[in-house]
Amino acid sequence: MTKPRLRPRETKVEIDQTGAFQRQPNHFTTPFGQGEKELSAEIGRYHLIWAKGCHWSNRASIVRQLLGLEEVISINLVGHSRENEKYGWEFVYDKDRRDPVTGDQFLSELYDRADPDYKGRATVPALVDTQSRKVVNNDYHRLTNYLEVAFKPFHKIGAPDLYPEDLRDQIDDYNDHVLFPNINNGVYRMMFAQSLIAYHQAFEDFYRTLDEIEERLADRRFLFGDYVTDSDVRLFVTLARFDTHYYRNLGPIKHRIIDYPNIWGYARDLYAIPAFKENTYFHSIAHGWDKDKQKLFLDFNSRFADQIDYDAIWSQPHQRAKLSKTPDQKFLTPS
């Protein structure tokens, strides 16, 4: 059995000289494809590990369900236990805290088995080869794209085309140069910043981009028009966590997500889709930090999160459908 190792701390090893957070690069990035050194898409070969609170991995769980890959790629959740938090992600929801597919207790064991010399954080999403019990891909930048393209032969009948070929360059550019640096990673740039200069730069990037998105969504239902694409999944997972969790680590915030009429309606429009709703665990995301309820000062979520009906809030009606030429159809499907 591989001995679990201590989880490196972002604020110790991923901060540059200016105090800015520099996220560690993904380590297992072998692509899926037909090439000799590429991974092959197969039924039952891979096991997706994700976490309720992690938006990077939440993207993959949503796309997996949207495309109907539930019987193709198995799945499991990791979390943190108070006594073992120093070891990182753990299979806390399983019997004896062990993943039934691999037998491991900690995600780091799957990383160490794949590369004993790897010293970085064991992150989710992690796609595991069930035969070797090793992580083979943790590239959240491209994992959903692999599910959309390489696993297309296994999609359910009528699966949505989240990554239309004629839009791929635009989607990639938007994902890589707008959503990732300013929104998805933008919240972490604020949360992990170790200098005010770095914090304010991330703050300005985040809210400037939200303003641009609010304007973009004024006359289009989704980011690229009438249909949900890969980019919408990536934006949604950050929106779902901002007012429920991220705000707690950010100091004075400029606006909440619900203060943007177009973005807030757009987020609820996506939440109405079963794959989005069923893979969004608001009460887990918003869980309180203080266990001692007798303390004089408790954070907001410790006091109230259990009483909030997040589903009711996120299920409020909206008028987004009127922006679409196909109001009853949110997805582009193969003809």
C-alpha to C-alpha distance for 200 and 249, rounded to whole angstroms: 14
pLDDT on residue 33: 93
Q: Is 44 left (phi over 0), alpha (psi -120 to 50) or beta?
A: left
pLDDT on residue 335: 66
Reported as type and span, the H/E element at residue 187 is helix 186-191
Last residue of a domain, one of 95, 122, 154: 154
Taking only Cα atoms into account, the Rg of the chain, rounded to an integer number of angstroms, comes to 20
Same domain, 184 and 274: yes
332 occurs within a structural domain? no
Same domain, 141 and 174: no
Same domain, 319 and 186: yes
Say yes or no to pLDDT of 1 above 70.
Answer: no
58 occurs within a structural domain? yes
Question: If DSSP codes are grouped into helix, strand and coil, which group holds residue 21?
Answer: strand
Say yes or no to pLDDT of 306 above 60.
Answer: yes
Last residue of a domain, one of 154, 176, 211: 154
Q: Which residues contact 335 (CB under 8 A, 6 or more apart)?
A: none
What is the mean pLDDT of the segment spanning 114-133?
97
Domain that holds residue 244: 165-323
Say yes or no to pLDDT of 2 above 70.
Answer: no
Say yes or no to pLDDT of 292 above 90.
Answer: no
Instruction: Point out the annotated binding site.
Output: 89, 121-124
Instruction: Point out the annotated binding site for glutathione.
Output: 89, 121-124
Same domain, 222 and 248: yes
Tally of domains within the chain? 2
Say yes or no to pLDDT of 22 above 90.
Answer: yes
Concatenated DSSP letters for 214-229? Answer: HHHTTS-SBTTBSS--
C-alpha to C-alpha distance for 289 and 300, rounded to whole angstroms: 10
pLDDT on residue 334: 79
Question: If DSSP codes are grouped into helix, strand and coil, which group holds residue 82?
Answer: coil
What is the mean pLDDT of the segment spanning 73-92?
96
Q: Which of 87, 174, 188, 260 is catalytic?
A: 188
234 residue type, one letter: R
28 occurs within a structural domain? yes
Reported as type and span, the H/E element at residue 128 is strand 126-129
Same domain, 17 and 113: yes
Same domain, 276 and 306: yes
> Which pLDDT band, with edges at 50, 70 and 90, does 121 fall under?
very high
Say yes or no to pLDDT of 272 above 70.
Answer: yes
Q: Where are the beta strands (DSSP E) in 5-125?
A: 46-51, 74-78
Same domain, 316 and 172: yes
Question: If DSSP codes are grouped into helix, strand and coil, which group holds residue 48?
Answer: strand
Same domain, 251 and 216: yes
> Which pLDDT band, with edges at 50, 70 and 90, does 296 fall under?
confident
Say yes or no to pLDDT of 168 above 80.
Answer: yes
Q: Is 106 left (phi over 0), alpha (psi -120 to 50) or beta?
A: beta
C-alpha to C-alpha distance for 234 and 260, rounded to whole angstroms: 18
Active site residue 188: yes
Same domain, 142 and 259: no
Say yes or no to pLDDT of 55 above 60.
Answer: yes
What is the mean pLDDT of the segment spanning 199-206?
98
39 occurs within a structural domain? yes
Last residue of a domain, one of 126, 154, 182: 154
Same domain, 288 and 199: yes
> Which pLDDT band, with edges at 50, 70 and 90, does 3 fall under?
low
> Which pLDDT band, with edges at 50, 70 and 90, does 290 fall under?
confident
What is the mean pLDDT of the segment spanning 14-40?
96
Same domain, 196 and 74: no
C-alpha to C-alpha distance for 78 and 99, rounded to whole angstroms: 9
Give the domain CATH number at 295. Answer: 1.20.1050.10
Lowest mean pLDDT among 32-36, 103-107, 147-151, 170-174: 32-36
* Phi and psi angles of residue 124, each rounded to the nearest 5 degrees, phi first: -115, 150
> Which pLDDT band, with edges at 50, 70 and 90, does 294 fall under?
confident
263 occurs within a structural domain? yes
Same domain, 79 and 194: no
Lowest mean pLDDT among 64-78, 108-122, 284-298, 313-327: 284-298
Give the domain CATH number at 119. Answer: 3.40.30.10
Say yes or no to pLDDT of 293 above 90.
Answer: no
What is the mean pLDDT of the segment spanning 67-92?
96
Q: What is the pLDDT of residues 134-146, one digit of tens each?
A: 999 999 999 999 9
261 occurs within a structural domain? yes
Q: Which of 46, 54, 163, 246 is catalytic?
A: 54
29 occurs within a structural domain? yes
The interaxial angle of helices 230-242 and 261-271, nearest 10 deg, is 110
Say yes or no to pLDDT of 291 above 80.
Answer: no
> Which pLDDT band, with edges at 50, 70 and 90, does 289 fall under?
confident
> Which pLDDT band, with edges at 50, 70 and 90, does 83 fall under?
very high
pTM of the predicted protein model:
0.97
- Report the percent of the chain where pLDDT is more than 90: 93
| Residue with the larger pLDDT of the pair 245 and 5 | 245
pLDDT on residue 325: 96
Reported as type and span, the H/E element at residue 129 is strand 126-129
